[in-house]
Structure 1
C-alpha cells in the first residue's frame, strides 16, 4: 500500500489538537475515534486527512522530508551552504509550533513504539542527505564521506532540537546554523574544489635588495594573507 500523504499545512491546528489528546490520555489508551472527536471530524474524515495515530505525530517530519528533498533538488547554493540551510529549514518547521513540538517530544519519550518510528525517520533524513552529498561531492571522495556527513547533520539537528525542548537555548535555528557551519567546514575539501586549488602569492620587492629583504617582503605578504 502506498504511503499516506501528510496532512496539509492547513490542518496544523487539528494536528495539534490530536497530539494534545494523545498526550492527555496516553498513546495506547487513545483510539482513532478519540482523535476524531478531538479535532471535530468523523472517523472516516480523520483517516482520510491524517491516517493512523503515528501519522498524526510524525506529520511534521513528513512535511520536513518533502521540503528538504525539494530544496536540495533545486538549490544552486554551494553544497556546504545548501546542507546548512536545508537542515536549518527542517528545524524551523519542527519548532514553528512550540506546543506541538513539546507534546510530540513527551509522547516519544514515554512510548517505545514511537521511538522505533523516530529511528526510521532519522534514517530517512540521512538517506536524503547522503544522496545529495554523493551527487555534489568532489571526484575521488572516500565512500564514507556521504554517510558520515549525513549522519552528522542529523545528529547536530537532533541535539539542537533537544536543547531547545529542554530550554537550554532560545533560538534553535540560529544555534543549529552556527554549529552546522562548523561541521561542514570539516568536510569542505570534499564538497568544494577550493581545497584543491593552489594559492598564488604575489610579493613586491626591490630587485636590488638583499636576500633578507626579499624574504622579509614574502613573510609580510604571507602574514597579510593569513589574517
Structure 2
C-alpha cells in the first residue's frame, strides 16, 4: 500500500488543524495556513480550494487509494494478472466483493488510528465547527459512493441491484464511523476486534444466493435489504443490531 500522507499534504493538514486548535477556525486565515505549510497562497488554493478542504486533504489521497485497491480486485483485473486468465484462487464473485469493501473500510479506519494525534485534534474541531462537520459528511458520502459503485460493477448481475449495493455500502460506513467515534472518545481502546466482528455481522446479514445460503453462515432464504437511519452518536453495537433487525 502506498503512503497516504505525502509530506506536502501531511504538512498542510497538520498546520491547519494546529492553527484552528490554537487560534480558532474563524480567526485563522488561508495565508497563515499556507505559511505554516510552507506553500504559496496560489499553491494552497490550487491544491485545497478552502480551509475546510485542507483539513481533509489526506482523505482525498486515501479515497483515490481505496478506488485503486478495489479496482484491482475486479474479475477483469484479476484475469489480467493471472497467466491463463483464470480468476479462481479462492475468489467467490458472490462473496468476495463484500469482503473487499470491508477491507477497504478497514484501511480507512487504520489510517485514522495510525495518525492518532491528527485524528484526535480533527475530531475535537468537528465538535466546534459546523463547516467542518458538513465537509466531513461530504467525505463520508464519497467513500459510500465508491463502495456502492464497486459492488454494482463487481457483483453478479442478479446481486448488483442498486438498493442492495447502497444498503451494504451505507451499513459498512455507518459501522466504521460508529466504532471510530468510540475510539476517538477513548483512544486507549483497541477497536479493531469490534470492527471486524461488526463487519462480519454485516456480511452474514447480506444474503448472497449460493444455493439459497448466506455467505459465512446458513442464513436461510434470500431477503430484501433495507437501510436504517440512526443518530450519529449511536453506539456501534446498536448500529450493527439495528441493521440486522432492519434486514430481518
Question: What is the TM-score with the length of structure 1 in the denominator?
Answer: 0.73
Query: Measured at CA, do residues 173 and 69 of structure 1 come closer, stay the same or move farther in structure 2, by a change above 3 Å?
Result: farther
Q: Deviations over 1:132-185 (max 9, x none)?
A: 111233443354211111110110110111011011662334432221121112
Q: 1:86 aligns with which of 90, 104, 109?
A: 104
1:56 paired residue number: 54
Q: 1:31 aligns with which of 13, 19, 29?
A: 29
Give the equivalent residue in structure 2 for 1:161: 180
Structure 1 residue aligned with 2:87 = none
Highest RCO, 1 vs 2 (Cα 8 Å, sep ≥ 6) = 1
Which ranges in structure 1 are unaligned for 5 or more consecutive residues?
1-6, 198-227
Could you tell me whether the CA contact under 8 Å between 2:17 and 2:118 is conserved in 1?
yes
Paired residues in the alignment total: 189
State whether structure 2 residue 34 is matched by structure 1 residue 73: no
Q: Distance in 2 between matches of 1:36 and 1:24?
A: 16
Structure 2, unpaired ranges of 5+: 79-90, 215-248
The residue aligned with 1:123 is 141
CA distance, structure 1, for counterparts of residue 183 and residue 140 of structure 2: 18
1:104 aligns with: 122
Q: Calculate the aligned-residue CA RMSD, in Å.
A: 2.5
Corresponding residue of 1:114: 132
Q: Is the CA contact 2:148–2:169 (under 8 Å) kept in the aligned structure 1?
A: yes
Return 177-186 or 138-147, whichever deviates more: 138-147
Deviations 1:19-75 (A, max 9, x none): 111121111111011112323443334334444211211112212211111111112
Q: In structure 2, what is the Cα distance between the partners aligned to 1:169 and 1:88?
A: 19
Q: Structure 1 or 2: larger helix share? A: 1
> After the TM superposition, which segments of 4 or more aligned residues of structure 1 sit over 6 Å from their partners?
none
- On the 8 A contact 1:163/1:169 being kept in 2, the answer is no
Name the larger-Rg structure: 1
After TM superposition, the score normalised by the length of structure 2 is: 0.67
How far apart, CA to CA, are the structure 1 residues paired with 2:208 and 2:15?
47
- Residue 185 and residue 47 in structure 1: after superposition, are their counterparts in 2 closer, same or farther (change >3 A)? same
Change (3 A) 1:50 1:173: farther
The correspondence for 2:113, drawn from 71, 92, 95, is 95
Q: Aligned equivalents of 1:143 and 1:52: distance in 2?
A: 33
Contact map agreement 1:32 1:43 (CA 8 A) in 2? yes
1:18 corresponds to: 16
